[in-house]
Structure 1
Amino acid sequence: MWIIGRGFLEDYLQAIEGVKKNLLQKSSPNGLVFVGELSHGQFSPKMDHLVCFLPGTLALGAHNGLPADHMDLAKELMQTCYQMYVQMETGLSPEIVHFIMHQDSTRDIDVKPADRHNLLRPETVESLFYLYRFTKDPKYQDWGWEILQNFNKYTKVSSGGYTSINNVRDPDYPSPRDKMESFFLGETLKYLYLLFSEDLDLISLDKYVFNTEAHPLPIWPSTE
């Protein structure tokens, strides 16, 4: 809303400062930066895949003149979201992870049995699109390609379409759900298409803002 109409900037900055002060922690042993949850004053190292929209949002703000450390944090969180994929046996992220913070831990991520499903969500590839557009670093395309290949390997249905799966930790039988959410077509594949597009001005981020459902909205001309 700030980019479209130049309102709400202070609210956004205050929210990000609140996240940085209260919710950011690092896992052990590899120091992955993540956004946890706070409930009744108690911190939980729980992070939903939904949070992976945040690297793209931070990068968009930095592109529009907000502090450079927003882009630094975007890159750190992008790495974390990518690790939520590559550390799973199928290469696909679960719905929710818990980050391990014990100093003697040998792994960074734990996934509870009830959280091991993948619903073909868009947030990570959404942020990969933003990071690639603003940095031109091809690793973000590479990461998106890996994710797409694993969607094809574990969720593509031979008769047509893609399916959510119940268990990203079982590559032999990820337990397909026979259900494809509409956001897979409307968001996940849209952002993958834009990530791989040779035309870096296709739906220019200087002319449009995507809302949370990946609809491009034109940026209003400045009245200042």
Structure 2
Amino acid sequence: MGGINVHPSLLPKYRGSSPILTAILNGDNKTGITIQRINLEMDTGSVLKQKIIMLNETETTESLSKIVSAKTPELLITCIKELESGLIQESPQDDSKASYCKKILKEDGLINWSKSALSIDRKIRAYTPWPKAYTFVRKKKLMLLKSTPKPTRSDLICEPGTVLGFDKDDGILIQTGDGILSVQSLQLQSKKANNWKSFINGMQNFTGSVLGGD
């Protein structure tokens, strides 16, 4: 039968070590699972079986990894049975359609507040649980764990990274290059993760702070 393996993307898209994170970071509306032949070059083997997973802009790398793990065994068992019975039709990958994802480093989690709220929210979800998206406040590392992108409000327009205040329904409001990011969960360096209300209670004069830098 030869060697086979499982890759958490729809190959040839996202060959490499971080396909789940990359799909979230890029705002894809679908990803999937590929069972492929093992080849000398990474993730280039013939495709034996694929399963599509639809995305809705709420997934984190942690939650999507769990979905992939839950769906893989059934797909793998079906693939092995069809291989043994000769029913599989192998499909060589089209290298002209290949894309690649890189190895993720801790420093990749740094937030650029000039980006859009949507882009930053994707980064927060993609970098959960590791290495976590982060910024700096008062020379301390501040990790953002849960957020929601919101449209810009005409009454709240400031420098990107400015903490505008908070909303009882949405959380802490932060200006971005395009839109407002509402943050519901944060973790200050050397502290436990907190919901936004607990964080505000422990961080005096947070409104008006400009996040970023180091």
TM-score, normalized by length of structure 2? 0.30
Q: Which structure has more strand as a fraction of its residues?
A: 2
Q: Which has the higher helix share?
A: 1
TM-score normalised over the length of structure 1: 0.29
